[in-house]
Amino acid sequence: MSTSTLTRPSAATRPSGPARDSRGPRGVLWLAWRQSRVSVRTMAVPALLTALLLIVLHFLIQDRAELWVRTGCDHATDWSLSCQVQYGRMEMLTLIFTDALQPAVTLVPVLLGTFLGGPLLAQEYERGTLRLVLAQSVGPGRWLAARLAVPGAAVLLLSTMVAGLSSWVWWSDIRHNRAAFDPPFQGFTYPALGVVHIAWSLFALALGVLVGQLLRRTVAAVLASGAAVALAHAVVIVLRPYLWPVVDEEQPYNTVLGGFSKPTGSWLVEQGVVLADGTRMTADDCLNAADVCNAAPDSWGQYHPVSHFVPIQLVESGLLLALTAGAVALVFRRLARAGI
């Protein structure tokens, strides 16, 4: 072919420029990195700070806990002033984890979908740079794969780091801490621990990209993808109790706690009373039949014990990763098919 014979001499006499390029990624990966480096840095800084904070928090809590044992406050029945001060300090440290870090980590997927996923392709369509890129020699599939893989890998890496450290701190310092109350299924605790954080981060990114590709307008994509991730979160919260079979139990009506007493740390999904004839009444039913319920001898409850935490997380993550794969496949198909 004529091009190859024509270009060979010029390729040999290329100036020193390419020598500078030999380090780092090449081809579409170079472009994807050049385009993503600002957002990757913007993500990495808070993620690394969070990681640092978690590590510092771990050692501070460990330190307090040792002091706690050494001064005998651990077993004291009536606390001295010194024990109360210690308790207050310990509580403050655990609150940094439960009331600041956990909500922040929970919010991360929404932010990723909004500010990373949404504009990613919307901007390429809006500015017409998609046409610029596809007028080069690379195929659309290869370009898109690199364009998604670079920020995707950064999200995977950083979310794994944060989720790993936050699970570690929770497991070793918070779970059995006397100054903290943080059952694993609680609102901000569950999404900040374990694999779901990683799955949610990747899913939010993919959903944002898809929304951005559908809308092709940056501002609209930013708003809509944030809303889409939040909506997906709401749907999953409603579905979550059904991701794993609940434990169903009946027990004598607990007059002290007023009904069903669930095991420590478990997640009570539904509860009510059992009448003498064996029929079950939910808490809602009892609003209209207080007399009947008050006379009930037993109570029932459906709950997820702490041991269901990991299975539920795995099912939820599997579901989200399948949806992520679906969204990415759709983005690829739309790029190949629709006019640009």
Partner 1 sequence: MADATSVPDATPEEGRPAVEAVGLGKRYRGDRWALRDCHFTVPAGRICGVVGANGAGKSTLLTLAARLIEPTEGELRVFGEASSTPESRTRVAYVTQEKPLYPSFTVADTLRMGRELNPGWDEEAAQRVVGMGELRADARIGSLSGGQRSRVALALALGKRAELLLLDEPMADLDPLARHELMGVLMAEAAERGTTILVSSHILPELDGVIDHLLLVQAGRIRLAGDLEEILDGHRLLTGVADGAELPAGTAVERRVRGRQVTALLHTGEPVDGPWESVRPSLEELLLAYLRTPLPTPAAAPDREAAA
Q: Under the rule (CB under 8 A), what is the footprint of partner 1?
A: 2-4, 6-7, 9-11, 13-15, 17-18, 21, 26-28, 30-31, 34-35, 38, 127-129, 131-139, 339-340
Nearer to partner 1, 4 or 288 (CB): 4
CB of 336 to partner 1, least distance (A): 10
CB of 18 to partner 1, least distance (A): 7
CB of 186 to partner 1, least distance (A): 42
CB of 7 to partner 1, least distance (A): 4
Nearer to partner 1, 139 or 318 (CB): 139
Amino acid at 78: D
Nearer to partner 1, 67 or 138 (CB): 138
Partnered with residue 254 across adjacent β-strands are 259
In whole angstroms, what is the distance from residue 65 CA to residue 236 CA? 37
Q: Locate tokens 């002091």: which residue? A: 67
Question: Coil, helix or strand for 267?
Answer: strand
Distances (CA, A) of 9 to 1, 4, 13, 26, 180: 15, 9, 6, 22, 72
Nearer to partner 1, 6 or 290 (CB): 6
CB of 156 to partner 1, least distance (A): 24
In whole angstroms, what is the distance from residue 112 CA to residue 205 CA? 6
Distances (CA, A) of 217 to 84, 120, 121, 169, 275: 57, 10, 9, 41, 59
Among residues 295, 257, 289, 261, the alpha carbon closest in space to that of 275 is found at: 295
CB of 267 to partner 1, least distance (A): 47
SS (H, E, C) 59-98: HHHHHHHHHHHHCCCCCCCCCCHHHHHHHHHHHHHHHHHH
Nearer to partner 1, 9 or 278 (CB): 9
Nearer to partner 1, 84 or 136 (CB): 136
Nearer to partner 1, 119 or 272 (CB): 119
CB of 123 to partner 1, least distance (A): 10
Spatial CB neighbours of 138, under 8 Å, sequence gap ≥ 6:
27, 28
User: How many C-beta atoms surround the C-beta of residue 154 within 10 A?
Assistant: 21
